[in-house]
Chain A
Amino acid sequence: MAASSTTSGAASPPAGGVRVVLDDVAIRRALVRIAHEVVERTETLPELYLVAIPNGGVPLARIIAAQVRAISGLEVPVGILDTTLYRDDLTARGVRPPLRRTEMPSAVDDRAVVLVDDVVSTGRTIRAAMDALMDFGRPRSVQVIGLVDRGHRELPIKIDFVGKNVPTQREERVVLRGLSGDLEGPLEVVILESDGGAA
């Protein structure tokens, strides 16, 4: 990545336009808090069903499920729901985005579904996820966990459980890194300033 010319003096990034907004400790602390909030605000906890949006949502949902189990003793199912086939921006040109895994181990009918995503912005992914979810059944309710809410909403979508609000520029990219598939591995959320280039 070429050093960005637009990086101003404030909070100057150490490595060519990468700024850490949540480190591993902060992420895990936020997830513990969210798990408590989910337990507190879900009336019928046995109906809880965490549905992760890949790739970033998957490790987050697993960590939250483990926390909920630690708090309440309940085993919470974790599903994975790819939203790519429900996107509204499949462009005419170029190669189509790769599809990711969908694995829904339990039926969603009458469940209190909580979607889990790493970074929420325009709300279009959440919209796609809700449409996908409805094809699997009729949940009793749907709520959303977003580790980071970076704003720039384009649809009337609300995040019920937020890890951290991070004001951003539209052209910046915010990504969760450290997805090794290993829950113990360190995670971090970073801002890649201006044109982050090929990630």
Chain B
Amino acid sequence: MTGRDLLGIEGLDRTDLERILETAERMQEVGRRDVKKVPTLRGRTLINLFFEASTRTRTSFEIAGKRLSADVVNFTPSSSSLTKAESILDTAMTLDAMDPDAVIVRHKVAGVPKRIADALAAPVINAGDGAHEHPTQALLDCFTVKQEKGRFDGLTVTIIGDITHSRVARSNLYAFTKLGAEVRLAAPPTMLPTGIESLGAKAYTSLREALEGADVVMVLRIQQERLDGCFFPSIREYASTFGIDRAKLRYAKDDVIVMHPGPINRGVEIAHDLADRRPSVILDQVRNGVAVRMAVLYQFAGRSAKREG
């Protein structure tokens, strides 16, 4: 782990990823105890700085921090000085002056966590920035796959949906490729960025071909808040061509698992009856998110108050 901040999976190597996943396994054991709390980050302060809506990621970081005995402060933009036109950077620097041991940032614009990290003394953890990266989501997805399959080498992971706008797809593409799995991306042509194959994935516009022999199917949310243009004729048409149901899953391996980063649009990208039961592991992903974020906080929170060098 060379960097002080966790801004993306792109900057990590396979050893870093394996180290975090192994740490998360140990953290999972803490979560199974009666007393789900260890004193590791006692006396340390974490700030959740979420400029964009979030249920699971913010809560997950908060629970993870508390299980490590850190004090967790949630910053809510709607009740902050941002409404008095304070800039994002000024807000971040103000919070930094209160000496937090890590700042967890989510913003709808790609690159904001990096800008904040450059200005702050505290380590910054990216909790999702625009269409750039969402590293802890990718880590918890990898963790879930490791628990289900026990390995990455030789696995085929098919990611389906709006690849262009998806930070989850990008982070997972980096993570699974670095860990030795094959990544396929499937989407209507309007949602498949050109040149994406240069990152080591195979791109498909035929869902059936992309599903052939897949071990893991990762379904992305149709993010209606990010779709300002015309990407497909209608939600119904998307649901019938790229929405995942049990019939389409027959092309994949018999022991395929289905993942989704949430929140789900039932009946759009994933069929109603598929979301809640095997082979879907969506709630396991949420559960694993806490252990993975504990591992990330263990590695990054409070790691040198000042930038080195």
Contacts and interface: CB of A to CB of B under 8 A. Distances in A.
B25 to A, nearest CB: 8
Contacts of B308: 93
Band of interface residues on A: 20 to 34
A99 B23 contact: yes
Nearest to B294: A85
B233 interface: no
Given A92-B303, A92-B304, A98 B23 contact: yes
- Secondary structure at chain A's binding surface: helix, strand, loop or mixed? loop
A108 to B, nearest CB: 11
Contacts of B298: 85, 96, 99
A100 interface: yes
Interface in A95-148: 95-96, 98-103, 131-132, 135-137
B148 interface: no
Interface of A: 82, 85-86, 90, 92-96, 98-103, 131-132, 135-137
A135 B298 CA distance: 19
B35 interface: yes
A197 B22 CA distance: 25
A113 B231 CA distance: 64
B29 A102 contact: yes
Interface stretch (B36-44, B158-166, B178-186, B256-264): B36-44
A170 to B, nearest CB: 27
Contacts of B68: 85
Contacts of B23: 98-99
B91 interface: no
B39 A98 contact: no
Contacts of A95: 1, 299
Interface residues of B, number: 23
Interface in B5-64: 19, 22-23, 26-27, 29-30, 33-35, 37-40
A96 B16 CA distance: 12
A135 B33 CA distance: 9
B35 A135 contact: yes
30 contacts: A82-B26, A85-B30, A85-B39, A85-B40, A86-B38, A86-B39, A90-B40, A92-B303, A92-B304, A93-B303, A93-B304, A94-B303, A95-B1, A96-B299, A99-B22, A99-B26, A99-B27, A100-B26, A102-B26, A102-B29, A102-B30, A103-B29, A131-B39, A132-B38, A135-B37, A135-B38, A136-B33, A136-B34, A136-B35, A137-B34
B302 interface: yes
Q: Which 6 A-B pairs have the closest CB atoms?
A: A99-B26, A85-B38, A135-B35, A85-B40, A93-B304, A92-B304
Given A85-B38, A92-B302, A98-B22, 16 more contacts: A85-B30, A85-B39, A85-B40, A86-B39, A90-B302, A92-B303, A93-B308, A95-B1, A96-B298, A98-B19, A99-B27, A102-B26, A131-B39, A135-B37, A135-B38, A136-B35
B110 interface: no
A86 B1 CA distance: 22
Contacts of A90: 40, 302
A90 B70 CA distance: 14
Contacts of B26: 82, 99-102
Contacts of B33: 135-136
Among A85, A92, A103, chain B packs the most CB atoms within 10 A around the CB of A85
Contacts of B30: 85, 102
A198 to B, nearest CB: 16
A190 B263 CA distance: 56
B271 interface: no
Contacts of B40: 85-86, 90
B303 to A, nearest CB: 6
Nearest to B101: A92
Nearest to A100: B26
Interface string B123-161: 000000000000000000000000000000000000000
B305 interface: yes
A49 B26 CA distance: 22
Nearest to A92: B304
Nearest to A107: B34
A86 B35 CA distance: 14
A114 B228 CA distance: 65
A135 B32 CA distance: 12
A92 B304 CA distance: 5
Nearest to A86: B39
Nearest to A136: B33
Nearest to B30: A85
